[in-house]
Amino acid sequence: MNFDLPDDHELIRRTVRDFAEQEVAPVAEELDRTKAFPYAIVKQLGELGLMGIPFPEEYGGGGGDSLAYALAVEELTRVDSSVAITLCAHTSLGTQPIYLFGTEEQKQEWLPKLTSGEILGAFGLTEPEAGSDAGNVRTRATLSPDGWTINGTKQFITNAGTDISGVVCITAKTGEDEISNLIVPNGTPGYSQGEPYRKMGWNASDTRPLTFEDCVVPEENLLGPRGAGFKQFLQVLDIGRIGVAAMGVGLAQGALDQALAYAKERRAFGKPISKYQAIQGKLADMATEIEAARLLVYKAARLKDAGRDFTLTAAQAKLKTGRLAVRCAEEAVQIHGGYGYIEEYPVCRMYRDAKILTIGEGTDEVQQMVIARALGA
């Protein structure tokens, strides 16, 4: 079994790491403080071909695989989670549904603009009464000669309200016991985006509620067969968990990087604190857990790329890495001492950014349900 990355994947890792360190790191603190969406960075990500890594070249994508995508997400999150989740939600949630379930006409219309980064994609699933209970959708879509008339609300939606947002795929009840997915372009009358949320973290990413009031889209905006929406979004969430798990590894690694560098620099009682056993134990545990979690994420990506069932491994990776990110961020703050509580130090932002990784893309409790079900419990 070879654990070395292939040359093309190693090139992606180096390319994204260089970009993150040179272009993202210098502005990450300011973007977080001002809650400014990183338009310039997203434009550069598109120019580098990173907004469409796992999609075929015929649709403008990079022709890469899930492992390449996970590597890119991991490297971005080492430096800044807001930039990483923007790419992650756009790729896994905004673009995947159209690629997986769209007609050829829908793919030709939307994928080239999405994979190039010309527009951002979003996915509207969560509602006030449908979070972990994702099947409890209240948004409704009624078919008439004019098309689908949509009424309802979505919340906690990423990428839907920026100046370059182009389309959202939403779940809606299209019958008493059926859920379908629909494509809703930005600018459609009756579709509006609320004000951004005030969040604990991910301050430079776009997250807001959506409202649909007699919003009409053409009948052909149905995504896949009518009534297939529940099965579709479960498949999308499985894929999305690989990306979010990669974020967990990236944040944990970034926290370790910052903690190790600070521990070597900070002196107490005549020597660097990295020379004290208490600090060495924290660093050693972080490094070991990160390596184990990274291999789990890569396994999930490899299983998907091989066409094998990856639901269990993706859920395990998501559960493991979310918790690890929180723990590593906390330890990094502890190693920094009082400075870790100061916003000028990246670990303070990482600490705030980490918690959502145990909630978004399915809470830890949902991951445990998925894992237990796969075990036959």
Handedness of CA 365, 370, 375, 377 (dihedral sign): positive
- In angstroms and rounded to an integer, the radius of gyration of the C-alpha atoms of the chain is 21
| Strands (E) located in the chain | 120-124, 140-144, 147-158, 165-175, 178-185, 191-193, 207-217, 222-223, 267-268, 271-272
Cβ 106 vs Cβ 223: under 8 Å:
yes
Strands 165-175 and 178-185: antiparallel
**How many residues does the structure list for the chain?**
377
Active-site residue (options: 21, 344, 361, 365): 361
Strand, helix or coil at 369?
helix
Structure tokens at 303: 């299983």
Question: Of 205, 234, 250, nearest to 93 (Cα)?
Answer: 234
User: Residue 169: what are its φ and ψ, rounded to 5°?
Assistant: -100, 125
Examine the residue annotation and report whether 361 is marked as an active-site residue of this protein: yes
Active site residues: 361
